[in-house]
C-alpha cells in the first residue's frame, strides 16, 4: 500500500537508513524511525503493513536506485571502459553513502529479509553478466564462470570500500584506478 504522500515515504526511508547507519539494524525501533521521520508511530502503519515490509521496501528501493546510478549512460562503451566506470561508481557509492551501504549489508543477514529480496539478483548483476560475456567473446576476459569473476569483483570492491570508510579515506581517481587495475589483472585474458 503506497498512497499519495511520496515525500513522507522518502522521509521514512531516510530515517531508516540514517538510524541503521548509526545504530545498526538490530537497534532499529519503529518509534525511533517515526520520530526521526517526523511522523507518529501509527503513521508508519498507514504506509507499511509491518516493520518487515518497511525494511524490505527500503532494501528494494536502494538496490534499484543503486544499480541505475552505477550503470547510468555507459552502454555502448568498450567492455573494459564500462567495467572501470562501474568500478569507480560503485566504489564512490559505497564510500560516500556509508549509511546506505551499512543498511544493505546488515539487512542481508537480518531476520527481516523476505524470500523475494533474498533472491533479488540485482539488475546490476545481470548487466554485469552480459558485459562479462561480451568480454569473453572479445577474448579480453578469461573464459571462466561468471560467478567466479563476479565474486572477485564484488568481493574485492566491498572489502576495499570498507577499508576506505574505516580509515576515513576518500575515493580519488588514483585509488579507483589502482584498485581496478588489480581486478583487471585478475580477470583479463
Partner DNA sequence: AATGAATGAGGATTCATTCAT
Partner DNA sequence: AATGAATGAATCCTCATTCAT
Which residues contact DNA by CB under 7 A?
Answer: 1-5, 8, 28-31, 39-47, 49-52
Smallest distance, a second copy to C-beta of residue 165, A: 12
> How far is residue 7 CA from its own chain's centroid?
22
- Give me the least distance between CB of 33 and a second copy, in Å please: 16
| 3 state DSSP class of 81 | helix
For position 133 contacting a second copy by CB under 8 A, the verdict is no
Q: Interaction with a second copy in 43-102: which residues (CB under 8 A)? A: 102
- Least distance in angstroms from the C-beta of 106 to DNA: 14
By beta-carbon proximity to a second copy, the closer residue of 68 and 182 is 182
CA distance 101 to 93: 8
If binding is defined by CB under 8 A, does position 183 make contact with a second copy?
yes
CA distance 7 to 14: 10
d(CA 176, CA 173): 5
Quote the least distance from Cβ 116 to a second copy, whole Å: 16
The span from the CA of 185 to the CA of 48, in Å, is 46
Burial (CB < 10 A; 0-12, 13-18, 19+), residue 55, is buried
Cα dihedral value 26, 14, 43, 53, nearest 10: -50
Total residues binding a second copy (CB under 8 A): 36
Of 32, 125, 156, 165, the one binding a second copy by CB under 8 A: 156
Pick from a second copy, DNA, none: which does 137 bind, CB < 5 to 8 A by kind?
none
Asked whether position 105 contacts a second copy by CB under 8 A, the answer is: yes
Provide the 8-state DSSP code for 109. T
Q: Which three cell numbers stand for residue 11?
A: 522521509
- Binding stretches for a second copy (CB under 8 A): 23-27, 102, 105-106, 109-111, 142, 144, 147-152, 154-160, 162-163, 178-179, 182-183, 185-188
Amino acid at each position: 500500500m503506497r498512497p499519495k504522500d511520496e515525500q513522507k515515504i522518502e522521509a521514512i526511508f531516510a530515517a531508516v537508513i540514517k538510524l541503521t547507519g548509526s545504530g545498526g539494524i538490530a537497534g532499529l525501533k519503529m518509534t525511533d524511525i517515526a520520530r526521526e521521520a517526523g511522523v507518529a508511530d501509527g503513521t508508519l502503519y498507514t504506509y507499511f503493513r509491518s516493520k518487515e515490509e518497511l525494511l524490505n521496501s527500503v532494501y528494494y528501493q536502494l538496490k534499484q536506485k543503486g544499480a541505475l546510478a552505477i550503470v547510468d549512460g555507459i552502454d555502448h562503451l568498450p567492455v573494459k571502459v564500462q567495467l572501470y566506470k562501474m568500478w569507480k561508481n560503485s566504489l564512490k557509492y559505497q564510500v560516500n553513502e556509508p549509511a546506505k551501504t551499512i543498511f544493505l549489508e546488515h539487512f542481508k543477514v537480518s531476520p527481516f529479509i523476505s524470500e523475494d529480496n533474498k533472491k533479488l539478483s540485482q539488475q546490476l548483476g545481470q548487466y554485469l553478466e552480459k558485459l562479462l560475456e561480451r568480454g569473453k567473446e572479445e577474448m579480453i576476459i578469461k573464459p571462466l564462470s561468471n560467478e567466479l569473476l563476479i565474486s572477485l569483483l564484488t568481493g574485492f570492491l566491498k572489502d576495499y570500500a570498507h577499508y576506505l570508510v574505516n580509515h576515513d579515506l576518500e575515493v580519488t581517481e588514483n585509488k579507483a584506478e589502482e584498485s581496478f587495475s588489480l581486478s583487471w589483472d585478475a580477470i583479463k585474458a
